């Protein structure tokens, strides 16, 4: 006999606001953010943890939201690209032309913001290692690295 797993009502703290949503046990945080909360700045690309286009901040740390269940996010502070406003790394991406098609850009900005916040003294090696989880299909990583270094004052 199979047990039918039912939906449940949960509360998520997203970009400083408490949101109530109904989720299935297997719904990912990515699905909840995009399909239920309409926060489409978080991108759905590979869906299996390879590209990092779905990166959000969970309690300030970058997390691939396609690999986290929505129910696991209860009790944590979630920040999406829509929740980051007027931060230096956004201006740096523009000034350094660190994007082309832009599909990967929200997650690069999220990840870069976490990098400069957590590692204000990051050297080239740390920057390279930190950014290697994010895949971009159409631009150079050099400009992205330059944007990060500009924010770090290097
Ligand atoms: S969509 Fe999550 S890692 Fe690619
Ligand atoms: S700017 Fe196009 S995939 Fe990154």
pTM: 0.94
5 pLDDT more than 80:
no
Per-residue pLDDT of 90-109, as tens digits, reads 999 999 999 999 999 999 99
Among the CATH numbers 1.10.8.100, 3.10.20.30, 3.40.50.740, 3.30.70.260, which is that of 8-81?
A: 3.10.20.30
Domain with CATH 3.10.20.30 in the chain: 8-81
Instruction: Work out the mean pLDDT of the chain and round it to a whole number.
Output: 95
d(CA 3, CA 44): 30
Whole-number Å distance, alpha carbon 30 to ligand 1 midpoint, is 9
38-74: b (≥16 Cβ within 10 Å) or e: ebebbbbbeeeeebbbbbbbbeeebbbbbebbbbebe
Protein residue with least CA distance to atom 4, ligand 2: 136
Domain with CATH 1.10.150.120 in the chain: 84-151
CATH entry 2.30.110.10 includes domain 84-151: no
Decide: helix, strand or coil at residue 95: helix
Which atom of ligand 2 approaches the CA of 100 most closely? 1
- Any idea which ligand is nearest the CA of 30? 1
């Amino acid at each position: 006999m199979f047990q039918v797993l039912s939906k449940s009502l949960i509360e998520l703290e997203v970009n400083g606001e408490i949101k109530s949503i109904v989720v299935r046990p297997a719904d990912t945080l990515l699905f909840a953010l995009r399909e239920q909360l309409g926060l489409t700045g978080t991108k759905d690309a590979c869906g299996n943890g390879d590209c990092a286009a779905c990166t959000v901040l969970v309690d300030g740390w970058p997390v691939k939201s396609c690999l986290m269940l929505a129910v696991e996010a209860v009790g944590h502070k979630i920040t999406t690209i829509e929740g980051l406003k007027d931060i230096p790394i956004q201006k740096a991406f523009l000034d350094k032309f660190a994007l082309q098609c832009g599909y990967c850009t929200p997650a690069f900005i999220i990840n870069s913001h976490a990098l400069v916040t957590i590692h204000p003294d990051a050297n080239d090696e740390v920057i390279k290692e930190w950014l290697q989880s994010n895949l971009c299909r159409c631009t150079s990583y050099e400009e992205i690295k330059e944007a990060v270094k500009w924010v770090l004052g290097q």
